Amino acid sequence: MSINRRELIASAAGVSALGLTGSLSFLPSAMAASVREKGFYSYKVGSDIEVISIYDGVWNKPHDEGFIVGATVEDTKAALRKGGINDENIPIEFAFTIVKTGGKTVMIDAGTGAQLAPTSGLGSKGMANAGIKPGDIDTILVSHFHPDHIFGLMAKDTNAQVFPNTEIMVGETEFKFWTASDTIEKLPERRKGLAKRVQDTFVKWDNVSQYKGGQEVAPGIHSVDTFGHTPGHTAFHLSSGNDEAMLIGDMINLPALFLANLDWQLVFDSDKDLATKARKEMVKRLVADDMTVAGYHFGFPNSGKIKKDGNNYVFVPTSA
206 DSSP 8-state letter: T
Residue 7, SS3 per DSSP: coil
The DSSP secondary structure of 259-319, one letter per residue, reads: ITSTT-EETT-SSHHHHHHHHHHHHHHHHHTT-EEE-TTS-SS-EEEEEEETTEEEEEEB-
What's the rounded Cα separation, in Å, for the pair 50 and 151?
25
What's the rounded Cα separation, in Å, for the pair 200 and 198?
5
Domain 33-302 has CATH 3.90.78.10: no
pTM, entire model? 0.92
Rg (C-alpha) for the chain, rounded Å, is 19
Q: What does the pLDDT read at residue 190?
A: 87
Q: What does the pLDDT read at residue 26?
A: 53
List residues bridging with 107 in a β-sheet. 98, 140
Q: What does the pLDDT read at residue 34?
A: 83
Mind listing the pLDDT tens digit of every residue in the chain (320 residues)?
433 333 333 333 344 444 434 555 555 676 778 889 999 999 999 999 999 999 999 999 999 999 999 899 999 999 999 988 999 999 999 999 999 999 999 999 999 999 999 999 999 999 999 999 999 999 999 999 999 999 999 999 899 999 999 999 999 999 999 999 999 999 989 899 999 999 999 999 999 999 999 999 999 999 999 999 999 999 999 999 999 999 999 999 999 999 999 999 999 999 999 999 999 999 999 999 999 999 999 998 899 999 998 888 999 988 74
What residues does each domain of the chain span?
33-302
